[in-house]
Each structure stands twice: as C-alpha cells, then as structure tokens.
Structure 1
Amino acid sequence: MCASALVSSTRRLSAVLGSALVLGPRRPIIDLSYSSHFMDYGGSAIPPTMRKLVVRALSPRFGDAVHVDTCPVPTPGDAELLVRNRFVGINASDINYSAGRYDPSRKPPFDAGFEGIGEVVGLGLSASARFAVGDAVAYFGEGAFAEYTVVPAEKTVCVPSVKPEFLTLLLSGATAYIALRRLGDLAAGQTVLVTAAAGGTGQFAVQFAKKAGCHVVGTCSSDEKAGFLKTIGCDRPINYKKEDLGSVLRREYPAGIDLVYESVGGDVFDVAINSLATHGRLIVIGFISGYQSDLGIAPVRSAALSAKLLVKSASIRGFFLPHFLADYREAMETMLRMCSSGQLVCEVDHGDLAPGGRFVGLESVFRAVDYMYAGKNIGKVVVEVAPAVNSKL
C-alpha cells in the first residue's frame, strides 16, 4: 500500500470509529508491502539512530573541523543502498576536504569520509534489480565516516567479501592504476621513482610499475618500511631519514628518472624535478607535506622550472581521480581479480602499533588521521567501524 492510500484508508476508518482513532504527526513511511524483503531488520538489528563524523568548521586540523554527531539512520531511496559500514579508509585528502579546499563554495556542516566497505542492509525497489540485502559492497563518496551510509547503487562496487584489503583499492589502488596507465607512458626498462612508496597509494604504484617491467625506486622513512618495499618488488628503497635522496639519485641513476609518481611535495618535489631524465614525466597525485598548513601547499624552490622542463623535454602531469571516472570500473574489476588471485599485495595498517592501539570504532578515525600524518603507517590506514553481523535473512 502506498503512503497516500494508507493515509486515505486511515482517515476513512477514523470517520467510522469516531474519536477512537486519531492520526499522529506525519513522518516518512517505508512501503510495508516490500520492506520485509528490502530492509534487514532482523539480521543487522538496524537501530533508530547512528553516529557519523560531520565537518562543523573549516580547518586543516581535522580534530578542530570534525565532530561526532548522532542522527537518525537514513532510509534508502528507490535507487539507493543503505550500507552498514564495517571498515572505512583514511586518506591524506580527508584534511583537504575538512578545510574546504575541494569546493570553496560549500559551507559546513557536511559529512566527512570518502570510502567504505560493508554489507547492504536496506535498498530501494529499483536498486533490488542488482543488489540484495547481505551483499558485500564497497564505495567511494561523501559521508563514509558513519555507521550507516546511503549510497547510490550505481556508485557501489560488489566485492567478494567485506575484507579491508578490498577497501584499499577504491581510492589508493585506483589512483595508482589509472594514473600510471593514462599518464605514465610506462615501458619495460624504464626507471620509476615512487615517493611515499610504503603508503596507501605508493604500495600500488610500486607494484604496477614493477609489473610493467620497470626498475622501481621508492622513498620511505624507516628501515621497516624499506623492508616492506622489498617484499613488493621495489628494487631500491631509500630511507630518507638515513640517506640523502638527491645524492642517491645523482650517484646511482646518473641518466635520470623516467617517471616520478609524486605525492609529497615541497623539497621532495624539487629533488624529483632535478632528477628527471630526458623525456621524463612527473605525475603529481598530491603534496601531503603541505596539507596541514593553512595554505595547504608546501613551498617549492624549483627556480626556472620551465627551463628545466624545456632542456629535458620533460613534463609535469596532474592527476585527480574524479576527472578519470570513465576508467574507474575497469580499474576496479582488474584490481579485484588481481587481489583475489594473489597477484596484488593490498597492505592494510589497522594501527596495532599506534598509540592507543588498533583503530576500532568511529571515534578512532581521529587517531587514524593523526597516525597517517605522523608517517607511521605501512600500507593503507583502515578503521574498523563495526564488527561482523551474521544476517538472519
């Protein structure tokens, strides 16, 4: 029965019974003719309220900008899914978002978080053509830092299971895969430098460059990270806390670097530009060294940049994932196959060695962001929002 028919029928019944039946305040109505099939009330015990992280003030200091709010659990629309988030991913860009840098016209409050993975616990009628309650799905979009998120069905990806390893592919893996494929012009025998190579996206850039037959150099900040990089195929890890990056590149790679996958900015960007080979390319996927500043950008000293590019016929290319969404589905399908078959390492850092321990619960997102910006993580930083639930449906 539709909402209007239900109200009309109730009013007729009220006229018959007189004052014995009084209509209450109007509220959104779930179509009960199919809700038992499309809302997993018994299996997941959907509560009336939930918690989510909301940007209340614009600031590059995540803890100052974001607060935990309690609100009703939303009901999915016709073409939407209600996802119970099991894991959410932490990204360097979370701070840019909370600072209002992606869309200056948008004013607080707005929801935080970009990527999540979990189970479908509710869905609209048309969404049921492709999905069912209990399906494991991953997505990237606004509002992931929440216990439940409503996501357009067309923007979700079915995954084999709710494993955090699959979550690493959504932004970090896809950025490396698409950037290198579309902008990298990789060829066997080339030398590739990956900065922040042991991080969430760096780990994938190392592996994809290696699979293309390249010699891979990766920067990192500890011997533990250097050891990890060797396990995923990095030919020359450089712990910049012990070795000078510029000196190593000049001494060991005098012909220069063919491709740089750059996410640090500042001094590292300067060194990378000076180290480019003839026809060298540098892909900018970020500049994390400046994100926590008020400007959001770390100063560079690449004087006469145009001359440096000219004399080497070199180039700088920017990559922002939302501009390459036409490539996204193919990238995800390929990476999911590789991950499932063991051809791709998807390293997850749950924060077991972080102050305060493992990142569990929505509030630990704040610790996880600080942990990543302290440069402690190996792989993708992931927060476990909720434990597994065995559905009764």
Structure 2
Amino acid sequence: MHAILAPEPGGPEALRITEVERPAPGPGEVLVRVVAAGVNRADILQREGHYPPPPGHPDIIGLEVSGVVAELGEGVTGWRPGQECLVLLAAGGYAEYVVAPAGQLVPPPPGVDLVEAAGLLEVAATVVSNMDLARLSAGDVLLVHGGAGGVGSFAIQYGKALGCTVLTTAGSAENLDYCRALGADHAIDYHGDWVATVMEVTDRHGADVILDIMGAQYLPLNVRALAVGGRQVTIGLQGGRKGELDLGALLRKRASIHATSLRFRPVAEKAAICERVTRSVWPMLAEGLIQPLHTQRVPFNEVRRAHELMAAPGHRGKIVLVVDEASGAGSTRRTE
C-alpha cells in the first residue's frame, strides 16, 4: 500500500509517498481502508522531527482518518466489514490502510459525508477531553486561543453549546469574522493587548477556562487573564516550551494550569474519550448545535501542498487528504 513518511526531518519537501506493507489487525484491532485523513498541526511537528510517534507505532504521519472496515482482528465485536467509521490514531493515518484498537473507532456523525468527517474526531476528542478536565460548564467564560484553527473552531461551538460565554483570539480581520460566525461572543486580535480586552468584556472577571495552544509565550499573560479559580489547559507549544510562571499570581487566584496530550494516552483512555464523543458530541452535530468545520480537501498525492496550507497565515478550519474520493462521495451527505 502507499503511505506518506518524512524519512528526514524538514519542510514539506521532506514528505515522501512510499510503498509499505499493508498492516494486519491483531487481537482486538480493526483494519480500515482509508477514505480520507485529517491533517493536524502535530503532523507538521512530526515532519520537522519534533514530535515522533509513540514507541511501537509506525513512522507514517497522521492522527485521524475516515474509512471503511476491511477486516476484524480476533475478539472484535460491534463492527463488521463494510461499515463506515472514523478512527483516532497515534500514527499511521496518511496511508491507504490503517490498523487501530476497536475502541478507537467511532461511527461517523449523522449527516456528515465521510471525507468531511475525517477532520472531526481528533478535534472533538481533544476539545471534549480537555474541557472535561477543566470542568467547563454552563455560565463559564471560556477563552479559546487560535479560534480559527481546527481545534479552536470546534471549541468555540462546543463552548456555546454548553451555555458558556466564549472569547477567542485570532490574527486577521477575516479570521476574527470567521470566529464570530461560529458563535464567539468576543473575537479579539492577538496583536493588541488581548488581556486588557478579556478583562474589559468580562467586567474584570476574567476567563474561567483557557484553552491554550501557545505555551510559554502566553504563560504570564494567561495567568493575568484567568478568573479567580480559573483553569488553564495547554495543548500546544506554538509559542515555546519554557516560560516564566509567577506562582504568587497563580496562588492569589487559586487557579490551576494543566498540560495534556491526546496522542500518548493509553488505549483504554482513548477508547473512553471516543465513546464520550459519540455519546455527547455527535448528537450536538445532529441537532445543529455544532456545525461541521470549514474543510479544505487536498488529494493524497498533493500532501506537500496540504502542509503548506496548514502553515500559511489565515488558515482556518480543517484540511483533509482525500485518499478515495469515490468512497467518500458515496456516503452520507450533510444537508444544508
């Protein structure tokens, strides 16, 4: 089968379509024929040599796919060959076939075509698991950094669906408008004094929960923006790994900071998160409380262009690599 690797770290030119052996499902696993693969910022980090897959997983890039069940491993129940599915992966998604534990497969959300759905599971699992950790609930003020990206786009809508006041940051007028269209109550240009704006629009309350993708660069700013009893969850390090933290300021606010990663969680935890997404988030999509993300489709053999688009200023929503357009086009379509 064909798969995409980066044999040597580098830019998009490092990506190679390579012939590799098709995987076989072991006990408790499922082989899936891939229709489309979601593109995530973690894929760029892996290509650059900064985010290798967990031990025992292939060097093939890709953390999520949509597809069709091809073969069941020993002991798998609840799935049958020919069923459409979404798959959460630790690696291996940029390929014609993937293998995953059965608990990391979920049915596609109702009314979303299989290609478009390829970019939903990773963001949904990331947002839901981290907002559960932060105890996000109705009435909270949620600040989402990078609201125009895939995770941010989903987090804005999820926060609104829970009954939160949602603030977000973005870097251009177009992306700010996009965030407002998703439901953000306040979209703030991060080039300015966004902390002051957060405090102003919340009447000095601050953010009860911050979903942070920046890491070190925003660490002291986020502490200033947190409400008393606030909770920050850092899921990305786009602004660096090492920063200065004023523990006194954190202590005075009785606030907390968590740092999490979905990719390295144990199989059982991932299965529980996938079940939570199916049970709680897919109904929100069915009811129209959350809309499928703006999705740009790129052919599998144009993967370098997909990575260039992901890194380009103004990127919004999700990018998916289309492996089998015919299969995706034949599945359920979202009704407008």
| Alpha-carbon distance in structure 1 between the residues aligned to 2:252 and 2:317 | 37
Query: Which amino acid counterpart does residue 168 of structure 1 have in structure 2?
Result: G
| Kept after mapping to 2: 8 A contact 1:174/1:332 | no
Deviation of 1:132 after TM superposition, in Å, equals 3.0
Deviation of 1:83 after TM superposition, in Å, equals 2.2
Query: Which amino acid counterpart does residue 276 of structure 2 have in structure 1?
Result: E
Assess, with a 3 A threshold, how the Cα gap between structure 1 residues 333 and 233 changes in structure 2: closer, same or farther: same
| Kept after mapping to 1: 8 A contact 2:30/2:73 | no
Query: Which amino acid counterpart does residue 259 of structure 2 have in structure 1?
Result: G
Equivalent of residue 89 in structure 1, options 35, 38, 63: 38
Match of 1:52, SS state, is: strand
Deviation of 1:336 after TM superposition, in Å, equals 1.9
In the alignment, which residue of structure 1 is the partner of 2:275?
329
The count of residues paired between Structure 1 and Structure 2 equals: 320
> Could you list the per-position Cα deviations for residues 41-65 of structure 1 after superposition, in whole angstroms to 9, with x for gaps in the alignment?
xxxxxxxxx31012423x3x35365
In the alignment, which residue of structure 2 is the partner of 1:133?
81
> Could you list the per-position Cα deviations for residues 334-368 of structure 1 after superposition, in whole angstroms to 9, with x for gaps in the alignment?
22222233221121331xxxxxxx511x2322222
| Alpha-carbon distance in structure 2 between the residues aligned to 1:56 and 1:124 | 30
Structure 1: state its 5+ residue gaps: 1-49, 291-296, 351-357
Assess, with a 3 A threshold, how the Cα gap between structure 1 residues 375 and 140 changes in structure 2: closer, same or farther: farther
Structure 2: state its 5+ residue gaps: 331-336
Deviation of 1:234 after TM superposition, in Å, equals 0.7
| Kept after mapping to 2: 8 A contact 1:73/1:148 | yes
> Could you list the per-position Cα deviations for residues 168-212 of structure 1 after superposition, in whole angstroms to 9, with x for gaps in the alignment?
33211111112112x222343332211001211112221222233
Assess, with a 3 A threshold, how the Cα gap between structure 1 residues 152 and 109 changes in structure 2: closer, same or farther: closer
Percent same amino acid at aligned positions?
Answer: 29
| Alpha-carbon distance in structure 1 between the residues aligned to 2:31 and 2:274 | 22
Question: Aligned pair 1:279/2:218, yes or no?
Answer: no
Runs of 4 or more consecutive aligned structure 1 residues displaced over 6 Å after TM superposition? none
> Could you list the per-position Cα deviations for residues 128-176 of structure 1 after superposition, in whole angstroms to 9, with x for gaps in the alignment?
7533332111112221101222334343222257524433332111111
Query: Which amino acid counterpart does residue 157 of structure 1 have in structure 2?
Result: V
Between the two structures, name the one with larger relative contact order (CA 8 Å, sep ≥ 6).
2
In the alignment, which residue of structure 2 is the partner of 1:314?
255
Match of 2:19, SS state, is: strand
Deviation of 1:107 after TM superposition, in Å, equals 9.9
Match of 1:382, SS state, is: strand
**TM-score, normalised relative to structure 1:** 0.72
Assess, with a 3 A threshold, how the Cα gap between structure 1 residues 127 and 62 changes in structure 2: closer, same or farther: farther
Indicate the structure (1 or 2) with the bigger Cα radius of gyration. 1
| Kept after mapping to 2: 8 A contact 1:365/1:383 | yes
Give RMSD over aligned pairs.
Answer: 2.9
Match of 1:359, SS state, is: strand
Equivalent of residue 205 in structure 1, options 139, 142, 155: 155
Deviation of 1:319 after TM superposition, in Å, equals 2.2
| Alpha-carbon distance in structure 2 between the residues aligned to 1:62 and 1:334 | 38
| Kept after mapping to 1: 8 A contact 2:38/2:119 | yes
| Kept after mapping to 1: 8 A contact 2:31/2:100 | yes
Deviation of 1:108 after TM superposition, in Å, equals 11
| Alpha-carbon distance in structure 1 between the residues aligned to 2:20 and 2:207 | 51
| Alpha-carbon distance in structure 2 between the residues aligned to 1:107 and 1:138 | 22
**TM-score, normalised relative to structure 2:** 0.83
| Alpha-carbon distance in structure 2 between the residues aligned to 1:189 and 1:335 | 19
Match of 2:291, SS state, is: coil
Equivalent of residue 210 in structure 2, options 256, 260, 263: 260
| Alpha-carbon distance in structure 1 between the residues aligned to 2:54 and 2:66 | 29
| Alpha-carbon distance in structure 2 between the residues aligned to 1:230 and 1:187 | 21
| Kept after mapping to 1: 8 A contact 2:106/2:274 | no
> Could you list the per-position Cα deviations for residues 34-92 of structure 1 after superposition, in whole angstroms to 9, with x for gaps in the alignment?
xxxxxxxxxxxxxxxx31012423x3x35365422113444545654332211111111
Query: Pairwise mapping of residues 1-393 of structure 1 onto structure 2 (< 5 A)?
Result: 50-57=1-8, 59=9, 61-63=10-12, 66-76=15-25, 79-98=28-47, 101=50, 110-120=59-69, 122-124=70-72, 126=74, 129-141=77-89, 142-159=91-108, 162-181=113-132, 183-241=133-191, 243-253=192-202, 254-290=204-240, 297=241, 299-300=242-243, 302=244, 305-321=246-262, 322-323=264-265, 324-325=269-270, 326-350=272-296, 359-360=298-299, 362-389=300-327
Deviation of 1:218 after TM superposition, in Å, equals 0.6
| Alpha-carbon distance in structure 1 between the residues aligned to 2:237 and 2:223 | 14
| Kept after mapping to 2: 8 A contact 1:266/1:287 | yes
Query: Which amino acid counterpart does residue 321 of structure 2 have in structure 1?
Result: V
| Kept after mapping to 2: 8 A contact 1:170/1:332 | no
| Kept after mapping to 2: 8 A contact 1:78/1:123 | no
